[in-house]
Amino acid sequence: MNKTLLLLTILGLLGCQQEATETTASSQAEPTPQTEEPVMTDTQPPIAEKRPHVFEIHGDERIDNYHWLRDDTREDADVLAYLNAENEYTRQQMADQEAFTDRIYNEIVARIVQNDESVPYKIDDYWYYRKFTEGQEYPIYARKQGSMEAAEEILIDVNQLAEGHAYYASNSQSVSHDHKIYGFSEDTVSRRQYDLRFKNLETGEMLEDVITNTTGSMAWAKDNKTVFYTRKHPTTLLPYQVYRHVLGTPTSEDVLVYEEPDNTFYIACYTSRSKDYIMIYTGATTLTEIMYLPADDPTGEFKSVLPREPKHEYSVEDFNGDWIIKTNWNALNSRVMKAPIGDSTDKSKWQEVVPHDDETLIYDVETFQDWLVVEQRKDGIRHLKALNWASGESKLIQSDEATYTMSVAYNPEQNHNTMRYDYDSLTQLGSVMEIDLNSGEKKLLKQDRINGEHNPELYQSQRLEIRARDGAMVPVSLVYKKDLGALNQRPLLVYGYGSYGSSIDPRFSLSRLSLLDRGFIFAIAHIRGSQAKGRQWYEDGKMFNKMNTFTDFIDATKALLAENYGDPKRVYAWGGSAGGLLMGVVANLDGMLYDGMIAAVPFVDVVTTMLDEDIPLTTGEFDEWGNPKNQDSYEYMLSYSPYDQVKAQDYPNILITTGLHDSQVQYWEPAKWAAKLRDLKTNDKLVLLRTNMDTGHGGASGRFAYYKETAEDYVFLLKLAGIKE
């Protein structure tokens, strides 16, 4: 299991509205730049009533006029009326673009190859895969026994399960060791509170066992009837308990095997890659502990790989009787060690396998029969290196492109020397590759397809470094279509995130073609707060260094314009979740550098949220933002908190999006921010709030429905840029 993905899943960060790796023939028409102010309607926006609410701490008093918009039940009539009024106002302001929005949506969806199938992976005698069929929103999970020429067996058809639900998501599927019971998760509300269900694959019947309020993941014991799962706190939604369930018994009899006492930690339960161990991961922002239990002893006691230590983060994979350990012990960018399973609690006995490198950040490791594969980042590029266990030989897996993303794909078995990996770039459709680690021979297993023609040679990708105001060199990845006119006359869209050490890697986007083919330059600013240049890059953009994240983004935008990338009158910014925080701060600091912004599910009421430990994610993020109960943290966070720092000044056009059931960034943060912006801004630029009343942090759940909101977002930018077709 990829431990980096595990942690990101736990933190819920992948709802940050990153550009999806999607897959058209889009309009090839020459863009027609028009710099006149886009026509807005004279419809009056909703005016939220002011009901002053006083917050007081550290002798400081804050007045929040819109605190009343918080409704944990999502049923308050006044709140729902206000959100619906905002939706109607947004609809009216964009009414003249309805036909264009439909065109963009149809254009994007037309690119999707509707009958599509994943690369099958083999576990024991079965080949498992996922497929989509024409016109269907959701996947079908299936398998074949013996070979891919065998008869197909449908495991679950998510389209059938989703019938009658406005939202449906399954974030985890797992088969028992004997391949007879299929477990899967489902969320029909979009609060990321998943029920676990089980299907008997021999009879085709659904079992009566339904486990509620979980993270969605599960770990099977080798008796094929015992399942371990992680339960969420009913109020904070923090994963905090691991239970053991025996199929066929009431869930009321489930046994609590672990409860995390520290509410700054997240936990998860999973099966080791060898399938020999049940693992419990516990982690805060700066330290972790991992526990294990033999999968053939489900009623046994969990043991710790290494008890938690201050500022020590590690992850493990079991291999040939050893733990292979990625650790930051005396290694800022991490190194790889090994220790015998059952005798790992004394670090002095650990043996170094891959030493620390000041220039290279280690993300993850994956073990194979004769090779260790290290997923790492150097010079901002995520790539792979293989090391031979016996000889010590090491070799990089090469790419011909200057800017790309390479990551380990799903490799369920260890006892061979072929590895699957994913390859992506801003111009090339994503691929699943397979490499023979002994010979170095590569094989393309699948490249994402696209309806219509896509010629990567028509697009240009580049990687730049710009100098921030304090001298730091900030990487920027960008892509644009060639031969559409001078670069300094084109609209420029800058995307950023910059938190949690999460890096926005350059990947292909199916939908983004609709902007590129109309002349947009798309840039990703790899700002501090990510790990684009190693762990120190993250440390320099968190806590009391957080302001670097925001000034890096502004400086990157200005540097691109200085290098003649983009028309200064048509510059746009986009970020989601913590990237929405970025948008909010930039709007306050230097908003009029941009003609428009999209702030998706934005975390903007930083101080109030971080003072409320009943809100999901709060306690687990004190090491990211600070704890405002400490006066120094309070004052620093208050100095940039977007909602608190809205003032009487000009603001750019801003589209703010949220979901009523969002569990990561509660809907009332963007709703309050929109109301305050509209009240205090001194110009006539648009502030639009769009609330999806059926979904949460990640938006719509279907593969086509998702793009309806994408089309609306794009048309907001296109309208501002004066591009009408």
pLDDT in tens, 59-74: 999 999 999 999 999 9
Annotated active-site residue 697? The verdict is yes
Range from 234-243, 540-549, 639-648 carrying the lowest mean pLDDT: 234-243
Residue 217 in tokens: 């993941």
pLDDT of residue 617: 64
Amino acid at site 579 = G
Specify the number of domains making up the chain: 1
Instruction: Pull the structure tokens for residue 278.
Output: 């049940």
Residue 89 lies in a domain: yes
Range of the domain at 86: 3-110+454-721
Contact in structure between 182 and 123 (CB atoms under 8 Å) = no
Task: Give the SS3 label for residue 388.
Answer: strand
**pLDDT above 60 (res 3):** no
CATH assignment of the domain containing 467: 3.40.50.1820
The reply to whether 488 falls in a domain is: yes
In the block, which residue shows the tokens 């003072």? Answer: 611
Burial 616-654 (b: 16+ CB within 10 A, else e): bbbbbbbebbbbbeeeebbebbbebbbbbbbeeeebbbb
Is residue 710 helix, strand or coil? helix
Q: Which pLDDT score, from 0 to 100, does residue 453 have? A: 84
Given this model, what pLDDT does residue 613 score? 82
Point out which residues pair with 407 in neighbouring strands.
Answer: 422
Task: Retrieve residue 27's tokens.
Answer: 């309009």
What are 381's strand-pairing partners? 378
661 is a domain residue = yes
Closest CA to 462 of 447, 448, 482: 482
Q: Given this model, what pLDDT does residue 40 score?
A: 56
Question: Does 92 or 8 have the greater pLDDT score?
Answer: 92
Q: How far apart are CA 569 and CA 592, in angstroms?
A: 10
Mean pLDDT of 163-186: 91
Q: Put residue 578 in one of left, alpha, beta given phi > 0 → left and psi -120 to 50 → alpha.
A: alpha
Record the tokens describing residue 150, joined without a space: 């065998």
pLDDT of 601 strictly over 70: yes
**What DSSP character marks residue 169?**
B
Euclidean distance between CA atoms 716 and 620, whole angstroms: 35
Q: What Cα–Cα distance (Å) separates residue 437 from each residue in 124, 370, 408, 430?
A: 21, 9, 13, 21
470 assigned to some structural domain: yes
Give the confidence band of 701 by pLDDT, cuts at 50, 70, 90. Answer: low
Kindly state whether residue 622 falls inside one of the protein's structural domains: yes
DSSP string over 218-246: EEE-TTSSEEEEEEEPTTT--EEEEEEEE
Average pLDDT over residues 440-456: 92
pLDDT in tens, 288-321: 999 999 999 999 999 999 999 999 999 999 999 9
Catalytic residue among 172, 526, 697, 713: 697
Residue type, 560: L
Q: Which residue has the tokens 């486990």?
A: 211
Bridge partners (DSSP) of residue 137 are none
Which residues face 284 on adjacent strands?
none
Which runs of consecutive H residues, i.e. helices, occur in 389-443?
none
Q: What is the DSSP code (8-state) at residue 179?
A: S
Among 92, 37, 29, 30, smallest CA distance to 722 is for 37
Q: Give a yes or no: residue 602 inside a domain.
A: yes
Q: Which of 540, 555, 567, 662 is catalytic?
A: 662
SS3 93: helix
pLDDT of residue 234: 82
Strands 687-692 and 322-327: unpaired
Element (H, E) at 692: strand 687-692
CB 510 within 8 Å of CB 111: yes
Q: Give phi and psi for 82, each to the nearest 5.
A: -65, -45
690 and 92 in contact (C-beta within 8 Å)?
Answer: no
Domain membership flag for residue 316: no
Give the per-residue pLDDT at 236: 79
Marked catalytic residue, from 190, 425, 502, 577: 577
Helix/strand/coil (H/E/C) assignment for every residue in 639-682: HHCHHHHCCCCCCCEEEEEEECCCCCCCCHHHHHHHHHHHHHCC
The DSSP code sequence of 279-298 is EEEEE-SS-EEEEEEETT-T
* Contact yes or no for 579/496 (Cβ under 8 A): yes
Residue 4: pLDDT above 60?
no
Between CA 201 and CA 222 the distance in angstroms is 17
